[in-house]
Chains A and B, each alone.
Chain A
Amino acid sequence: MNGFLMSTDRRPMLLMTPALLWLFGLMVVPCLLILVLAFFRRGIYGGIEYTWTFENIALVFDPLYFQIFMKSAGIAGLSAAIACVLGYAAAYAIAAMPRRHQPLLLFFAVLPFWSNYLVRTYAWIVLLNREGLIVNLARWIGYEGELPSMLYTEQAVVIGLVYNYLPFVILSCYAPLSRLSPEIAEASRDLGGSAWTTFRRVTLPMTVPGIATGFVFVFVLSIGNFVTPALLGGGQFQMIGNLVYAQFLTANDWPFGAALSMVLIAVMLGLLMGQAVVAERASGGKRAPDG
């Protein structure tokens, strides 16, 4: 098919130019600068010494730092997994509602986005605090014992990340679920599949791209996040985002900060490509190998 963008007409290119220039100037160029920076040496009193080195990259894989990397990946992965389970369930429920109610329900699902990220995260401090709402609620119900502090723990960080990014997953899962023809599920039932088998073998595989997109989204946003770990983790531990932040703003080691960023970006790109492969497979893509 000769699509709009494949036409020989140059005008579409003209329309794209401002956006491309913007992206190139403010995204591609800074990224390249950071990439280059990662291969320079740090000056003795801060600043940059312009001699080539692989030391910064090697240092990322030093156990001290690599452990932070792995821990960040763990927290990001856990948050993404929890968000996917909760988000898929919510999206499934919304898609099962009468069509005319769905826009309103989606609006409610993304409503938190309309408030400030910091405000939302501070709200969790109020909730999780030693004298916070959740503890008071437990007392009110009649719980007498000692309550462990929930604030400034790894769990608090996961809760904060899941809460903040859940709407992404709801939206990314809702898209394929709402496009699913009811007749596909009916066909499975007609051919002898129970409701559960139909979900497992038809609905779920056909909507996996939405889950993959949501997972990668939450993972990527979480692994680089430095606000939530700082506020809800209370400096008990560092995530990779905090480490990058510290290299640039307090340790004044820009080359190492750049190296950390580069490895992070590489991980993210890898994940995005994985997600693209999942999406391609599930769509029964036209480029599938021929029998």
Chain B
Amino acid sequence: MSDAFLSIKDVNKTFGSVHAVDGVSLDIHENEFFALLGASGSGKTTLLRMLAGFEDLSGGDVVLEGASIAALPPNRRPVNLMFQSYALFPHMTVAQNIAYGLEMDRLPRAEITSRVAEILEVIQLGHLAKRKPDQLSGGQKQRVALARALVKRPKVLLLDEPLGALDKKLRSEMQLELKRLQHEFGITFIVVTHDQEEALVMADRIAIMRDGGLLQVGTPQDIYEAPETRFAADFIGVMNFLPVTAGDQGFVARDGSVILADRVNGTGGAIAAVRPERLVLGDRGQNTLRGTVTNTAYHGLDLLLHITTRLSDTPVIARMTAEMADHLRPEMGQEITLSWSAKDTHIFPA
């Protein structure tokens, strides 16, 4: 990879004795849609606020296109932040809110007017230009906040939980909309989210954060298919965990059967993991499990079977497509055999 567009170099942030961000290094490419994914308290928002200039760095450096921006105040950075609360100016109209950042750049009035009109067109809110923020719905406010940050054409757009306040249906629409806008404007997006599905759908690359540090960085496929830690495996999607003991013959499950695995992370393997969609009906793979169906969860798109086995205390979850479910018609209490291949088994240390 050539020189990174935005380089985060061993960045630290301490509040008193708390390490909010602990030695994070990341290279983000131009026009990349990058997601910082983590639970609350993982340091993702603090990292974002440091990029925007609202938190000083306790250590490290932030380099944008070869020049350090770490010491610049927020108003001098070619970076804009879309706040989780939107932070629209309540005493200004939608158009005035969007024009504000352009006025700060002392652009000619005519250019400001045309750029505001243009972006209002993009977010399809031209008819609400004269409204005050209080008169907008949540989704409309969200789009105004986005437009206000985008209209400045920043080198990097930072988005703090941009879809957090929207309802589920609007959220999935806006996930695609954000991706489209990012393409159209050719701007690097860094989005902070706690929603793993959102990160998988939108981002080119994801960084999972935990306790102020980076756990894993990779494409959505990397992160989902090859989690490097038990935490990452658990945090992203649904994962079945089966306790094992490492023996001479391999990894031995509770019922004494040997579990074959191609992906062994770290040493001292203590738990095996397999995704629900990798389990197939019948005895057709290298690894087999038997159990009783104790619950079914219908999702429309698919059906999740909860299967009680001797392999773990919690039920194993298996995913069936609608078509398979029609065919099998699983019932509570039914005995069932599932299998999976060694390439789909992950082994993690304790």
Contact = CB atoms under 8 A, between A and B. Distances in A.
Contact of B87 (A183, A192, A197): A183
A192 B128 contact: no
A290 interface: yes
A186 B104 contact: no
B101 A191 contact: yes
Interface residues of B, number: 33
A197 B89 contact: no
Interface stretch (A60-68, A250-258, A260-268, A278-286): A278-286
Contact of B130 (A186, A202, A290): A290
Interface residues of A, number: 27
B104 A197 contact: yes
B143 to A, nearest CB: 15
B81 interface: yes
B152 A192 contact: yes
Interface string A28-40: 0000000000000
Highest count of chain A CB atoms <10 Å: which of B73, B88, B132: B132
Given A192-B105, A193-B75, A286-B134, A187 B52 contact: no
Highest count of chain B CB atoms <10 Å: which of A192, A194, A289: A192
A193 B87 contact: no
B152 A291 contact: no
Nearest to B78: A192
Interface string A188-199: 111111100100
Interface in B76-132: 80-81, 83, 85, 87-93, 100-101, 104-105, 127-132
Interface string A170-188: 0000000000010110111
B348 to A, nearest CB: 39
Contacts of A201: 100
B6 to A, nearest CB: 17
B186 interface: no
A206 B104 CA distance: 19
Given A184-B87, A188-B89, A288-B135, 10 more contacts: A186-B83, A187-B88, A188-B100, A191-B149, A193-B100, A206-B89, A283-B90, A283-B91, A283-B134, A285-B132
11 contacts: A187-B81, A187-B83, A189-B75, A190-B53, A191-B75, A191-B100, A191-B104, A191-B148, A191-B149, A192-B101, A283-B134
Which 10 A-B pairs rank lowest in CB-CB distance, beginning with the nearest? A291-B130, A192-B104, A191-B101, A187-B87, A284-B132, A183-B87, A284-B90, A189-B74, A192-B75, A190-B81
Interface of B: 52-54, 73-75, 80-81, 83, 85, 87-93, 100-101, 104-105, 127-135, 148-149, 152
Interface of A: 181, 183-184, 186-194, 197, 201-202, 205-206, 281-286, 288-291
